[in-house]
Amino acid sequence: MNSRVLNILYGVVFLGSSIYLYWVSVETGVDARRVSSDPMWYPQLLLILLGLCAGYLVLRSVLTREASPVQSVVWKPLAATLAAAGTYLAVFEKLGFVPSTVVLIPLLSWLLGFRRVAVLVVLTVSFTAAVWYGFHLLLNETPPGIGLPTFTG
């Protein structure tokens, strides 16, 4: 894929989104006599401008012959980070801060290529404890889930 194809793809997505959102705004809009009191007038104006810019991006990319290679990306660590971070954010409240964090730090560090187990263990325990106590004692905000005193007694 080159930059030209990518620009067309992004342009089409933005154009499609702006048309869909404009349609939503028309469906749910209120009938106001003046534009200044119409809550949907300003968002509609933004969506028209967005649609025009996206359309221009598509048109320009279709008509141009110049195309540069897209930025190189290493997909494996990205997929691993997306999965790990997404799961962490999803289970953060239900599982609690301490259990989810002691799994995330070593797992993500390992997936990203850091394999020194002893350092990982020490770092995970000390960082989790520091953040928990920092929020609990200094900021008066207890992180969700079971607290550290459950483990330390």
Partner 1 sequence: MDAFLSALQLLTGPSALVALVLGTMVGIIIGALPGLGSVLAITMALPLTFVLGQGASIALLLGLYCGSVYGGSISAILLNTPGTPQAAATGLDGHPLAISGRADLALGWATTASAIGGIIATIILAGAAPLLARVGLQFGPVEYFALGVFALTCIVSVSREDMTKGFIACLLGLFVAVIGQDSLTGHVRFDFDSFQLSAGIGLVPFLVGLFALSEVLWRVCQPGDPSQDRVMRSGFAFPGFAELKRRWSVLLKSSLIGTWVGSLPGVGATSASMVSYAEAKRSSPRRADFGKGEPDGLIAAEAANNGVTAGAMVPTLSLGVPGDPITAVMLGALVLQGITPGPRLFMEHADLMYFIFMALLLANVVLFVCGALMAPLFSRILRVPEPVLLSCIVVLIAIGTYSINSSPFDLLVVFVAGVSGLLLRYNNFPLAPIVIGFVLGPMIEESLRQGLLLSRGNFLGFFEHPIALTLFILTGIFLFLPFIRERLARMLRRGSPARSEQ
Of the candidate residues 113, 118, 152, 153, the single one contacting partner 1 (CB under 8 A): 113
Spatial separation of the C-alpha atoms in residues 76 and 71, rounded to whole Å:
15
21, 67, 95, 129: which one contacts partner 1 (CB under 8 A)? 21
Positive or negative, the CA dihedral 85, 86, 89, 94 is: negative
Q: How far apart, in whole angstroms, are the C-alpha atoms of residue 44 and residue 28?
A: 12
Report if residue 146 touches partner 1, rule: CB under 8 A: no
Does the footprint of partner 1 cover residue 63 (CB under 8 A)? no
Residue 103 as a binder of partner 1 (CB under 8 A): the answer is no
Q: In angstroms, how far is CA 137 from the centroid of its own chain?
A: 30
CB 18: neighbour CB atoms within 10 A?
Answer: 21
Say if CB 50 and CB 93 are below 8 A apart.
Answer: no
Kindly state the smallest distance separating residue 110's Cβ from partner 1, in Å: 8
In sequence order, the 6+-apart residues with CB closer than 8 A to the CB of 105 are 120, 123, 124, 127, 128
Contact between 82 and partner 1 per CB under 8 A: yes
Q: Residues in the site for partner 1, rule: CB under 8 A? A: 3, 6-7, 10, 14, 21, 24-25, 28, 30, 34-37, 39-43, 46-47, 49-50, 53-54, 56-57, 60, 70-75, 77-78, 80-82, 84-86, 88-90, 92-93, 97, 101, 104-105, 108-114, 119-120, 123, 127-128, 131, 135, 139-141, 143-144
